Amino acid sequence: MSCVGHVESVCGHIVSSETRPATDLHQLIDQRIEELADQVIEWRHHLHAHPELSNREVNTARFIAEHLHSLGLDEVRTSIAGHGIVGVLHGGKPGDQVIALRADIDALPVKELVDIDFASTVVDDDYPGGPFPVAHACGHDCHTAMLMGAADALVSVREHLAGTILFVFQPAEEGPPLGETGGAAAMDDAQALANPMPTMVFGMHVGPLPNGVVAYRIGNQYAASVIVRIVITGQQVHGSTPWMGKDPLPVAAEIISASAQIYRQVPAYNPVTISFGHIEDQGRFNIIGETVTLLGTVRCSVESDMGDICQRLQQLASHLAQAQGCVAETEFLQHVPAVHNEAKWVHAAIPTLESVVGSQNLVQTAPTLGYDDVSVFVNRYGGLYVLLGVQDAEFKDGAIVPIPGGRGISYNHNPHFYANDDALQTGVRLHAHIAIDHLMGNLRTE
């Protein structure tokens, strides 16, 4: 996500009419996952203490690849679109189903403020725009460790599996530095999942839901996203004589304020956000700088709104700049499609999800305006995306509230974001059971 936005409310759960039979294979793999529990936590702590920013996941990728090699997978493809990895496991029985289990592996330029003994103290001095403190403030350390655990567990039952499993470790989900390519689209362009092509993709994201709860949504779970960059050019001048130049800074302020009104031009049923999180100015206290650059993001829950909103934002910037004698150039970068869960995939997966967490821990959730570029894979190959709760929260009157005496609720990308270790096992089981059920033919849409 870059990623999870608020998950403020829940809307019940569709209870399946069928339950999935727990087979010997499910029991066997659960036993292996139980044995691996401490190991998965250790991996997660190591990854958490050694976070790397998008497109710089060198040591993270090496750590993952060493593990996958040690498992004796049929193939470990590395250095895909930067530091992407795909592990390939062919089952011991013939089968043409192929599931891709995906984890994102990058961290964020956030200074961690969580009081844990494996907290990150990493600073990346060389990253464009840096130096930046680096932290796994979006939980991708959990995603990586959970998929490493699932790979181990699935290898342990390989002779019982019919079909193929792709373990997809994806870099740069949070967006590569501007001017670089990366992430799911770059992996897909590099044909990372082309051979064999998945018949299902599964991904998940940890977030501030009650520990061990799985949330899903039919339709768009996460929003469509685009980065907006607006460069406003004026004329540099001494701070004491603004009338001798053209000041781009008030224009920047007007654009930020006015953009907050664009939502009124979009149907109110469709959630939209426009946020500017970064401003670069060339001036100082006594210099009115030549240019100001705004960097932000546009999110739309209904993907078809994106073109209209971007056009309005571009017009607004251009006209506000013109009114002050400046020029504004607006660019839209790194388009990420919405994460869309088709009803047929959700319905096919509910028995598996219920069998992993119990129907009482499976909830439908509202759409959020986070994004996840796993959408590139899910849209192309079909599949499912869910949220996994990892915090000390509970449901009360349909809302999610902190548990008294717990660690509270901290949203993704916040310096206080945390994830409970004891939720990891649920994530490993989700990967493993979804994979087994898809390969066994119990989780399919035809």
Residues in contact with Zn ion by the rule CB under 5 A: 1-3, 138
The least distance separating Zn ion from the CB of residue 140, rounded to whole angstroms, comes to 6
Kind of pairing between the strands at 339-341 and 224-233 = unpaired
The least distance separating Zn ion from the CB of residue 115, rounded to whole angstroms, comes to 21
The Cα 405–Cα 401 span in angstroms is 12
Listed in sequence order, the DSSP H helices in 203-341 are: 248-259, 306-323
- Tell me which DSSP letter residue 35 carries: H
How far is C-alpha 220 from the geometric centre of its chain's CA atoms? 14
Nearer to Zn ion, 1 or 154 (CB): 1
Nearer to Zn ion, 3 or 369 (CB): 3
Nearer to Zn ion, 2 or 301 (CB): 2
The least distance separating Zn ion from the CB of residue 199, rounded to whole angstroms, comes to 25
- Tell me the CA distances in angstroms from 384 to 118, 323, 366, one per residue in order: 32, 48, 16
Nearer to Zn ion, 154 or 336 (CB): 336
Q: What is the DSSP string of 336-394?
A: E--EEE-HHHHHHHHHHHHHHH-GGGEEEB---S-B-TTHHHHHHH-EEEEEEEEESEE
Strands (E), 64-106: 75-80, 84-90, 93-104
Handedness of CA 108, 111, 113, 115 (dihedral sign): positive
Structure tokens that stand for 5 in this block: 């936005």
The least distance separating Zn ion from the CB of residue 53, rounded to whole angstroms, comes to 12
- Tell me which DSSP letter residue 418 carries: -
Nearer to Zn ion, 104 or 152 (CB): 104
Q: What is the DSSP string of 120-142?
A: ---EESSSTT--EE-B-TTSHHH
The least distance separating Zn ion from the CB of residue 205, rounded to whole angstroms, comes to 6
The least distance separating Zn ion from the CB of residue 221, rounded to whole angstroms, comes to 13
The least distance separating Zn ion from the CB of residue 313, rounded to whole angstroms, comes to 23
The Cα 219–Cα 367 span in angstroms is 8
Nearer to Zn ion, 57 or 354 (CB): 57
- Tell me which DSSP letter residue 294 carries: E
The least distance separating Zn ion from the CB of residue 444, rounded to whole angstroms, comes to 28
Nearer to Zn ion, 13 or 431 (CB): 431
What is the chain's length? 446
Nearer to Zn ion, 29 or 81 (CB): 81
